[in-house]
Amino acid sequence: MSDSRQSSTTLAIQASLKKRYARERRFQWYGRLAVLTGFIFLFILLADIIVKGSPAFTQHYIELDIDFSAEMLGVGENPSAEEIASADFLAVVKDSLREQFPDVTGRSEKKALYRLISIRAEYTLRDMVLADPGLIGTHKNVWLLAHAEAGSYLKGQVDVTAPEAERRVKDAQVAWLDTLRAEGRTESRFNSTFFLSGDSREPELAGIKAALYGSFFTLMVTFCLAFPIGVMAAIYLEEFAPRNRLTDLIEININNLAAVPSIVFGLLGLAVFINFFELPRSAPLVGGIVLSLMTLPTIIITSRAAIQAVSPSIHEAAMGVGASKLQTVFHHVLPVAMPGILTGSIIGMAQALGETAPLLMIGMVAFIMDVPGGVTDPSTVLPVQIYLWADSPERGFTEKTSAAIMVLMGFLILMNALAVYLRKRFELK
């Protein structure tokens, strides 16, 4: 009887076994499918950004035979620096373009011709002559930056088979650029402008240096405030504070603060730091303070978790040999908890690096050309620069937007890698 019962149980198990295995296999496949879908989305996103953004890292230059005649520049003999600075270098550029293409007549045709060269040419030539006034009265071949639209044709981004009316680069410009290319007067170079200059309304002149510096100053302020305050608060709450209603309330509030939408911190920053303390608008100082308020809960929560995870035996051993409570914490608990604290802080900082919403309220979403020199100079940050470029009507900014996203992502990966490295390094000790 017991045999038959057992065999019936075995039978029942065997019957269901197949089903259970199948269920597990199905579940595994669901999991794989989920991971795969995630990867596909990530891949599409990254591929799109990289394909769109990579042309931004090169720029085309056009070689022109420049006639630095004193007459055309409107300067006398042995001109002073001021005279040179106010000389008409645009006329020189226009003249050399007309020399290159003598057939071009008519006002609108000439205008199209002048559009081949970036507006920076004027300033490039001015700086050249300022550095070497002896150039006046001579001829020289100079490589000048191409206009963004001419550049996009030279990069092969313009579909010349489309009707002319629908293209920004007209047939005449295409012919001129082809001639220049055939004569070896065009050249593709690495786009150093993108890394060495601030924002601009000309796509070929726009760079991320100002935004990078702004992000750096902002994050510096954030780190200087949020890290010490956050870690101190975590240590006190975890190790010293008594457990009572008040500390419970504080704990709940910290957890809730971590979930507050970031724009709220921007409103707070506007009301308190700008309107009440009268700190300057658009400054990394205010941006940093606002973002540190935003990252504080993250740092406190992760630091507390890291301190909590330290084995009690370390505590007890230190107390056992007569260490004070403070010595226990700073000599024994904190070093062990440090990898966790640093990881949490760096992830909090990475969040702050990608934030735009609170900065909108305090005036950091603005057109700012000059590279900030300190925490009180007006500046923007990387994600804001991306937003501003995405909003620009000029077509050339599309690739700049993707390129700036690549730079921002590069920094985020770098920061996360640093977090991993620090964790590994401290764990080994």
Among 353, 218, 226, residue whose Cα is nearest residue 285 = 218
- Specify whether the backbone of 78 is left (phi greater than 0), alpha (psi in -120 to 50) or beta: left
Q: Is 297 helix (H, G, I), strand (E, B) or coil?
A: helix
Of residues 221 and 411, the one with the C-beta less far from another protein: 221
H or E element in which residue 190 lies: strand 186-190
- Could you tell me the smallest distance in angstroms from the CB atom of residue 102 to another protein? 22
Residues of span 348-407 touching another protein by CB under 8 A: 363, 365-370, 376-378, 390-395
Of residues 285 and 350, the one with the C-beta less far from another protein: 285
Residues of span 155-174 touching another protein by CB under 8 A: 162, 165-168
CB 267 within 8 A of CB 293: no
Q: Which of 326, 413, 414, 417 binds another protein (CB under 8 A)?
A: 326
Stretch that binds another protein, among 23-31, 45-53, 249-257, 283-291 (CB under 8 A): 283-291
Residue 199 burial class via C-beta count within 10 angstroms: exposed 0-12, middle 13-18, buried 19 and up? buried
- Could you tell me the smallest distance in angstroms from the CB atom of residue 224 to another protein? 6
Listed in sequence order, the DSSP H helices in 117-244 are 120-131, 148-154, 171-182, 193-196, 209-235
Q: Which of 50, 91, 225, 264 binds another protein (CB under 8 A)?
A: 225
Q: Which of 243, 244, 245, 429 binds another protein (CB under 8 A)?
A: 243
- Could you tell me the smallest distance in angstroms from the CB atom of residue 166 to another protein? 4
Q: How many residues bind another protein (CB under 8 A)?
A: 54
CB 345 within 8 A of CB 230: yes
Of residues 187 and 239, the one with the C-beta less far from another protein: 239
111 makes contact with another protein (CB under 8 A): yes
Site map (CB under 8 A) of another protein, residues 257-276, x = contact: ----------------xx--
Q: Which of 202, 216, 412, 418 binds another protein (CB under 8 A)?
A: 202
- Between the alpha carbon of residue 370 and those of residues 38, 105, 261, 406, the distances in Å are 40, 39, 31, 22
Q: Which of 201, 252, 308, 417 binds another protein (CB under 8 A)?
A: 201
CB 332 within 8 A of CB 319: no
d(CA 170, CA 97): 17
74 makes contact with another protein (CB under 8 A): no
Stretch that binds another protein, among 96-104, 188-196, 325-333, 405-413 (CB under 8 A): 325-333
Of residues 302 and 380, the one with the C-beta less far from another protein: 380
232 makes contact with another protein (CB under 8 A): yes
| b/e map 142-165, b = 16+ CB within 10 Å | bebbbbbbbbbbbbeebeeeeeee
Stretch that binds another protein, among 47-55, 132-140, 188-196, 327-335 (CB under 8 A): 327-335
d(CA 302, CA 16): 45
Of residues 59 and 200, the one with the C-beta less far from another protein: 200
Spatial CB neighbours of 390, under 8 Å, sequence gap ≥ 6:
397, 401
319 makes contact with another protein (CB under 8 A): yes
Identify any residues that bridge with 60 across adjacent strands, giving them in sequence order.
188
d(CA 313, CA 324): 15
Stretch that binds another protein, among 177-185, 301-309, 322-330, 418-426 (CB under 8 A): 322-330
Residues making contact with another protein (CB under 8 A): 111, 119, 123, 162, 165-168, 200-202, 224-225, 228-229, 231-232, 239, 242-243, 273-274, 277-283, 285, 289, 319, 324-328, 330, 363, 365-370, 376-378, 390-395
